[in-house]
Amino acid sequence: MSLDNLNNTTLEQAKHSFMQCCTSSQWVNAMAIARPFSSIESMLKHADAVWDKLNESDYLEAFEGHPQIGNVNTLRAKYANTKALASGEQSAVQEASDQVLHALAKGNTDYLNKFGFIFIVCATGKTASQMLALLEARLPNNRATELANAAEEQRKIFQLRLEKLV
């Protein structure tokens, strides 16, 4: 889709497109209403500005748009079932050893139990071992710090997806 097509599509179609980038309904609505964008850069800048004004419940809604990693089988399957815009973001996990996959699955469960939301990381270009190291480094954080970390990772993800969108 081109930026021109996104700018000229219906409101509902635009919402559907933006929902593929981030599942916060407040963010999606604000992005769809803000059209037309004069450039990709202005769209990306606006996306960040909207994100910065959202609250915790909006962030949690966005996090819920990511599949939860509950066990090794779902970890392996997670990346095969992502949408086209998410393709390639976490492909390094497919090449991970069973030991790393088990540690990631356990770490994700520990993270969810501690913080009440799933571990979010912009995985583009990262190996499973690197993601595991990031997860282990973030587990000792308090909830407020981790909410901010996760929100920043979500921002990186939607920025990449917006660029793929147009």
Lowest mean pLDDT among 9-13, 127-131, 148-152, 161-165: 127-131
Residue 102: active-site member: no
Helix axis angle, 98-115 to 128-138, nearest 10°: 30
147 and 115 housed in the same domain? yes
Q: What is the largest CA-CA distance in the chain?
A: 49
In a domain, 7, yes or no: yes
Instruction: Write out pLDDT tens, residues 89-114.
Output: 444 445 578 898 889 989 999 999 99
Residue 1 C-alpha from the chain's centroid: 20
Considering 16, 46, 66, 102, which one is annotated as catalytic?
66
The model's pTM is 0.84
Note whether residue 107 is domain-resident.
yes
Q: Which residue range forms the structural domain that includes residue 91?
A: 67-154
Of 65-74, 75-84, 126-135, 151-160, minimum mean pLDDT range: 75-84
pLDDT digits (tens, 9 = 90+) for 129-155: 898 999 999 999 999 999 999 999 999
